């Protein structure tokens, strides 16, 4: 069955390739407008932030078992919230709320899921001994 | 029948019974609304609570969790483009665009009303036709299920308007990822890479969370820096009356509601296929039947109505084989069957004779839960509107946290959390390459069904394809599949040459 899926996907890929080449030849005839340097800088920053976002999530999952759910989630929430802050928002004013949510929410979630729902999230090196 | 209703009403309409249904509906809605949690999770967690309850109260709790859970998915689907449950995937396609246009309340209101209609319609079908419909469903064998799967797969063509080849690639990738794990017929390992956790394959919940939630979060991170005020959505409640839509608008959706509810019922009755398929199917059929199919996906109520009516209608449909034959229609009804077994009750034809009070109590509990769901979500509209005013840089990371908890909770295994990350990357790649994600989900769900039934059918027919074309039910679905592909191809051809 996977072989059948692969063969059909190959056929679709050939169709897509032909369509793509035709579209490229059509687009090549129209001249590209020069890109503004501010737009270039903005795109670069956006790509950097996307890469950072993936890195934060990757590290969060990687360290979840060793650091525990609470610590890793706190760090993740602080990093992701800061990555999502628009340039129009005052970062210093937003930090106290971000840090408060990042510390309180994972602890509450951990306690709720452990004590009420009986679902044990990774406790890490400290929490399993305390609770 | 009236006497049986009287017996059922007497059994369930006690203060404790009503309170249990109310709590079950509220918890179900909350679990359905939070991405990563679902009706299945809610029922699994509350099943131990039913040990000490009577059979009637226990089943009433589980049923109300089911109804609340399926309906609750529309809240996050509409407000954040992250479906709360797999049964609300299609709701995101028009629900979120409506929120972006400032019509979030209208989207929620019409979704709630469509959910209510779908549930009540399917309950009526369940009450009137349970034994007869179950007799039809039992005739579905491997050949018929394969034909249904082929018809469902042709929906991929309709879901990929811009480029059919990209849509098919997406759908086939979904089918490919679904082959990871143990072969359903021969039990051989496929693409497990020597990792033990991969032997059970990828679970739908982490895949969904990754494709939608992670992709949405990463996309937002990419845009956030230069955003000027789009981190919150302004919702003007001053002109909103009732549920945000007019009676005329609702009446204009009557055929869409009816058709989608019928689709949901039929899909729900067939064991093995559930609300996660019915919402996509109903949406696609609504789009094909519409005079303005190009408006679907831009934020119109038709898409939401189709999706929500169908997914809630699957509830009553799924109860048909459960009660009449003792065969669960989907994972949730499998848990309900577990609940009945725990009480020493055997589901099947004798249930209607030996436990009439239980059967009719279940019907009445479903009606009461539907009404409570409507009231809770109606009065919750203003609360949901407040959620929209929360900045996304606070809301999205918190939603992501609950998504991770939900994904981890599937098997209490960190592998499912890695799955979220992997499919998040896949979803982001799809968005950059303009490849639609919806056919991927359809392929992921339907692929295993198609493969298992094709192989079972070939084993039964000793390698011959002829029996597939000798079943009248299968022929009907194959013809529908051909018509569906031909209509999509013709429609695309006309658009390109217009």
DSSP for B44-57, please give it: HHHGGGGGSS-HHH
Give the least confident one: B43-47, B199-203, B425-429, B486-490: B486-490
Q: Quick one: average pLDDT of B418-446?
A: 84
Q: Would you state the pLDDT for residue B83?
A: 81
Q: Quick one: average pLDDT of A77-87?
A: 88
Residue B58 has pLDDT above 80, yes or no: yes
Residues 72-131 of A with CB under 8 A from B: 73, 76-77, 80-81, 83-89, 94, 97-98, 101, 105-106, 109, 113, 117-122
Confidence band, pLDDT 50/70/90 cuts, at residue B115: very high
Q: With beta carbons less than 8 A apart as the criterion, state whether B243 and B381 touch.
A: yes
Q: With beta carbons less than 8 A apart as the criterion, state whether B147 and B477 touch.
A: yes
| Alpha carbon of A5: minimum distance to chain B alpha carbons (Å) | 6
Provide CB contacts within 8 A for A127, sequence distance 6+.
A68, A69, A70, A110
Q: Does B414 touch chain A (CB under 8 A)?
A: yes
Roughly how many angstroms between the first and final C-alpha of chain A, as a whole number? 49
Residue B251 neighbours by CB distance under 10 Å: 9
Q: Quick one: average pLDDT of B121-125?
A: 90
Residue B228 has pLDDT above 80, yes or no: no
Residue A33 has pLDDT above 60, yes or no: no
Q: Would you state the pLDDT for residue B116?
A: 92
Q: Quick one: average pLDDT of B88-111?
A: 88
Q: Give the range with max mean pLDDT: A122-131, B157-166, B264-273, B413-422.
A: B413-422
Q: Would you state the pLDDT for residue B158?
A: 61
Q: Quick one: average pLDDT of B376-391?
A: 74
A29 or B273, greater pLDDT: B273
Residue B118 has pLDDT above 90, yes or no: yes
What distance in Å separates the CA atoms of residue B79 and residue B387, rounded to the nearest whole number? 8
What distance in Å separates the CA atoms of residue B262 and residue B239, rounded to the nearest whole number? 34
Q: Quick one: average pLDDT of B315-326?
A: 81
As a whole-number percent, the residues of chain A with pLDDT over 70 amount to: 83
B50 or B157, greater pLDDT: B50
Residues of B in contact with A52 (CB under 8 A): 221
Give the least confident one: B16-20, B103-107, B132-136, B247-251: B132-136
Confidence band, pLDDT 50/70/90 cuts, at residue B413: confident
Q: Would you state the pLDDT for residue B304?
A: 94
Q: Would you state the pLDDT for residue B394?
A: 84
Q: Would you state the pLDDT for residue A55?
A: 92
Name the residue of chain B whose CA is nearest to A48's CA. B222
Name the residue of chain A whose CA is nearest to B47's CA. A117
Q: Would you state the pLDDT for residue B243?
A: 66
- CA B58 to chain centroid, in Å, comes to 24
- Is the torsion defined by CA of B327, B333, B334, B340 positive or negative? negative
Confidence band, pLDDT 50/70/90 cuts, at residue B308: very high
What distance in Å separates the CA atoms of residue B43 and residue A11, rounded to the nearest whole number? 44
What distance in Å separates the CA atoms of residue B330 and residue B269, rounded to the nearest whole number? 9
pLDDT one-digit tens code per residue, B385-411: 676 667 778 888 888 888 888 888 777
What distance in Å separates the CA atoms of residue B86 and residue B95, rounded to the nearest whole number? 15
Give the least confident one: A100-114, B123-137, B366-380, B402-416: B123-137
What the block records as the tokens of B35 is 């991405």
Element (DSSP H or E) covering residue A34: none
Name the residue of chain B whose CA is nearest to A88's CA. B228
Residue A31 neighbours by CB distance under 10 Å: 6
Q: Quick one: average pLDDT of B4-19?
A: 80
Q: Quick one: average pLDDT of B276-296?
A: 85
Confidence band, pLDDT 50/70/90 cuts, at residue B305: very high
Distances (CA, A) of B259 to B110, B123, B262: 16, 16, 5
Residues 421-440 of B with CB under 8 A from A: 421, 424-425, 428
| Alpha carbon of B226: minimum distance to chain A alpha carbons (Å) | 6
Provide CB contacts within 8 A for B353, sequence distance 6+.
none
Question: Under the phi-then-psi rule, with left for phi > 0, alpha for psi from -120 to 50, and beta for the rest, what region is B273?
Answer: beta
Q: Would you state the pLDDT for residue B35?
A: 73
Question: What is the model's pTM?
Answer: 0.73
Q: Would you state the pLDDT for residue B160?
A: 62
Q: Would you state the pLDDT for residue A100?
A: 92
Q: Would you state the pLDDT for residue B249?
A: 83
- ipTM for the complex? 0.85
What distance in Å separates the CA atoms of residue B82 and residue B91, rounded to the nearest whole number? 10
Roughly how many angstroms between the first and final C-alpha of chain B, as a whole number? 58
Q: Quick one: average pLDDT of B200-226?
A: 80
Q: Quick one: average pLDDT of A20-46?
A: 68
Helices and strands per DSSP (H, E), number in chain B: 22, 2
Helices and strands per DSSP (H, E), number in chain A: 5, 0
Residue B76 has pLDDT above 80, yes or no: yes
What distance in Å separates the CA atoms of residue B38 and residue B29, rounded to the nearest whole number? 9
Element (DSSP H or E) covering residue B190: strand B189-190
Question: Under the phi-then-psi rule, with left for phi > 0, alpha for psi from -120 to 50, and beta for the rest, what region is A124?
Answer: left
A4 or B163, greater pLDDT: A4
CB contact under 8 A, A64 and B218: no
Residue A51 has pLDDT above 60, yes or no: yes
| Alpha carbon of B409: minimum distance to chain A alpha carbons (Å) | 7
Q: Would you state the pLDDT for residue B137?
A: 64
Give the least confident one: A25-39, A56-70, A81-95, B229-243: B229-243
Residue A103 neighbours by CB distance under 10 Å: 15
Confidence band, pLDDT 50/70/90 cuts, at residue B226: low
Residue whose C-alpha is closest to residue B319's, from B145, B144, B137: B137
Q: Would you state the pLDDT for residue B242?
A: 62
Q: Quick one: average pLDDT of B286-301?
A: 86
Residues of A in contact with B225 (CB under 8 A): 42, 45-46, 49, 86-87
Q: Quick one: average pLDDT of B50-67?
A: 85
Residue B298 has pLDDT above 80, yes or no: yes
Q: Would you state the pLDDT for residue A130?
A: 55
CB contact under 8 A, B176 and A9: yes
Residue whose C-alpha is closest to residue B134's, from B333, B323, B313: B323
Residue B467 has pLDDT above 80, yes or no: yes
pLDDT, chain B, mean: 81
Q: Quick one: average pLDDT of B314-338?
A: 78
């Amino acid at each position: 069955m996977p072989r059948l899926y692969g063969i059909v996907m190959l056929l679709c890929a050939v169709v897509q390739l032909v369509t793509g080449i035709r579209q490229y030849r059509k687009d090549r005839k129209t001249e590209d407008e020069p890109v503004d340097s501010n737009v270039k800088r903005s795109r670069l920053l956006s790509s950097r932030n996307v890469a950072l976002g993936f890195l934060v999530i990757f590290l969060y999952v990687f360290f979840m078992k060793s650091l525990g759910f609470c610590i890793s989630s706190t760090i993740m929430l602080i990093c992701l919230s800061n990555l999502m802050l628009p340039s129009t928002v005052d970062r210093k004013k937003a930090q106290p709320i971000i840090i408060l949510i990042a510390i309180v929410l994972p602890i509450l979630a951990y306690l709720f899921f452990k004590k009420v729902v009986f679902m044990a999230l990774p406790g890490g090196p400290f929490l399993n001994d305390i609770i | 029948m009236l006497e049986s209703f009287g017996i059922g009403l007497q059994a369930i309409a006690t203060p404790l019974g009503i309170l249990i249904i109310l709590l079950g509906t509220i918890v179900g809605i909350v679990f359905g609304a939070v991405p990563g949690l679902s009706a299945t999770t809610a029922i699994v967690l509350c099943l131990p609570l039913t040990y000490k309850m009577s059979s009637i109260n226990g089943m009433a709790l589980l049923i109300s969790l089911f109804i609340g859970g399926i309906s609750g998915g529309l809240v996050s689907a509409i407000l954040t483009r992250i479906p709360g449950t797999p049964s609300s995937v299609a709701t995101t396609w028009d629900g979120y665009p409506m929120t972006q246009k400032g019509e979030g309340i209208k989207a929620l209101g019409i979704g709630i009303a469509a959910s209510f209609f779908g549930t009540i319609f399917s309950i009526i079908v369940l009450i009137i036709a349970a034994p007869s419909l179950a007799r039809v469903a039992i005739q579905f064998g491997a050949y018929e299920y394969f034909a249904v799967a082929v018809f469902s797969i042709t929906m991929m063509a309709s879901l990929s308007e811009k480029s059919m080849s990209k849509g098919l690639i997406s759908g086939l990738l979904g089918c490919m990822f679904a082959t990871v794990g143990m072969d359903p017929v021969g039990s051989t390992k496929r693409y497990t890479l020597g990792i033990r956790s991969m032997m059970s394959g990828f679970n739908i919940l982490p895949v969904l969370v990754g494709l939608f939630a992670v992709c949405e979060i990463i996309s937002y991170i990419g845009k956030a820096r230069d955003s000027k005020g789009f981190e919150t959505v302004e919702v003007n409640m001053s002109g909103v009356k009732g549920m945000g839509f007019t009676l005329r608008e609702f009446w204009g959706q009557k055929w869409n509601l009816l058709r989608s509810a019928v689709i949901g019922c039929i899909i729900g009755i067939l064991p093995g296929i559930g609300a996660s398929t019915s919402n996509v199917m109903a949406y696609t059929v609504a789009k094909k039947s519409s005079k303005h199919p190009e408006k679907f996906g831009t934020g119109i109520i038709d898409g939401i109505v189709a999706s929500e009516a169908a997914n809630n209608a699957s509830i009553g449909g799924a109860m048909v084989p459960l009660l009449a034959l003792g065969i669960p229609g989907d994972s949730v009804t499998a848990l309900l069957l577990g609940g009945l077994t725990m009480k020493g009750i055997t589901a099947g034809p004798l249930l209607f004779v030996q436990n009439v009070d239980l059967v009719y109590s279940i019907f009445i509990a479903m009606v009461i839960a539907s009404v409570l769901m409507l009231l809770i979500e109606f009065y919750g509209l203003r609360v949901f509107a407040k959620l929209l005013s929360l900045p996304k840089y606070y809301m999205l990371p918190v939603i992501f946290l609950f998504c991770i908890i939900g994904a981890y909770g599937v098997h209490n295994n960190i592998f499912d959390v890695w799955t979220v990350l992997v499919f998040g990357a896949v979803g982001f790649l799809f968005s950059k390459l303009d490849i639609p994600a919806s056919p991927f989900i359809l392929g992921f769900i339907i692929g295993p069904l198609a493969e298992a039934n094709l192989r079972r059918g070939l084993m039964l027919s000793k390698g011959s394809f002829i029996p597939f074309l000798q079943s009248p039910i299968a022929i009907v679905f194959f013809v529908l599949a051909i018509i569906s592909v031909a209509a999509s191809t013709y429609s695309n051809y006309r658009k390109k040459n217009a």
